[in-house]
Amino acid sequence: MKIGNIDLGHRPVMLAPMEDVTDRSFRLICKEQGADMTYSEFVSADALIRNIAATTRKLAIDPGERPTAIQIYGREVAPMVEAARIVEQAHPDIIDINFGCPVKKVAGKGAGAGMLRDIPRMLEITRAVVDAVSLPVTVKTRLGWDHESKIIVELAERLQDCGIQALTVHGRTRSQMYTGHADWEMIAKVKENPRLTIPVIGNGDITSGEEAREAFDRYGVDGVMVGRASIGSPWIFHEIALALGKTELPMPGIDKRFSLLRRQIAESVGRIDEYRGILHIRRHLAASPLFKGIPHFRDTRIAMLRAETVAALDEVLSHIENEILPQHLQSIQ
């Protein structure tokens, strides 16, 4: 699969853009674990052109994570064009436009998935951004605003006509947010449209290697994007690579998985500061499957998520890794 002249290989798997999740450190780890392409956190066009420091920091790219895309969002043409030109100077491989974020503070203001209620403006923004930069431009969006307006098959054609070079479809409407199940049949209809020639990337509910393989085998997508299932579990990309026959290396063991979480903690703290870095990483710890299914874990989980220093957090993790988890694994064998 190619996006422009960027060859992502056969059956590529991407790390989805996620706010407060896909920072540079996490992207690089996912790349090392087998992700074929990474995406930045959401970059607000308005904040970028105002030179807000927290936003401009999102443009930093580690050479080891390439190819990577920086994703921008906004509701007006001129700021989106200006933001795209600024992003181009950061030298990502791709610029992605976010027409899919469903959260109220984005979609409720008409950006992200909010654009699904204003298709003419969506197309105007897309066309203007494509014309303004020399990098490949892609779009990520949803099936439609709600169940009564699943317009993605026709919309995909119109976005292609604007000049985008790939389309990612999350198999839910904006109204669904992240509830229910992703509709991969609708994603397949987009891919089956003979008038669509750009790559189609499917997104939604990919939580295992088998599900990723089914997305390719059953629904015929060109690429698969993994989002929430990677939080606290970057090794899911290794699992998917195994299922797709891309590697024969065994899954990382428990010690390696704890090492990856500790690396995230250290790099998060190094990037921000100890207190805010730990706050940032709590989402990964809370979601990690490493801690699921352990009986009587509530108090330890609370201690882990309340730790405010690296030393305190490491002490809890060491207790889990060296005492709690071995006992749990032994009990279920």
Q: What pLDDT shows up at residue 236?
A: 98
Is 56 in the same domain as 105?
Answer: yes
Is 249 inside a domain boundary?
Answer: no
Is 228 in the same domain as 271?
Answer: no
Is 7 in the same domain as 87?
Answer: yes
- How far apart are the C-alpha atoms of 292 and 65, rounded to whole Å? 29
Is 56 inside a domain boundary?
Answer: yes
Q: What pLDDT shows up at residue 331?
A: 67
Below-50 pLDDT ranges, the chain: none
Its domain, for residue 141, covers: 2-243
Is 238 in the same domain as 144?
Answer: yes
Is 173 in the same domain as 274?
Answer: no
- Per-residue pLDDT tens digits for 16-52: 999 999 999 999 999 999 999 999 999 999 999 999 9
Choose the final residue of a domain: 216, 243, 270. 243
User: C-alpha angle with apex 7: 6 to 8, nearest 5 degrees?
Assistant: 110
Q: What pLDDT shows up at residue 326?
A: 86
Is 57 in the same domain as 190?
Answer: yes
Is 6 in the same domain as 143?
Answer: yes
Q: What pLDDT shows up at residue 4?
A: 93
Please give the tally of structural domains in the chain: 2
- Catalytic residue annotation: 101
Choose the final residue of a domain: 219, 243, 267. 243
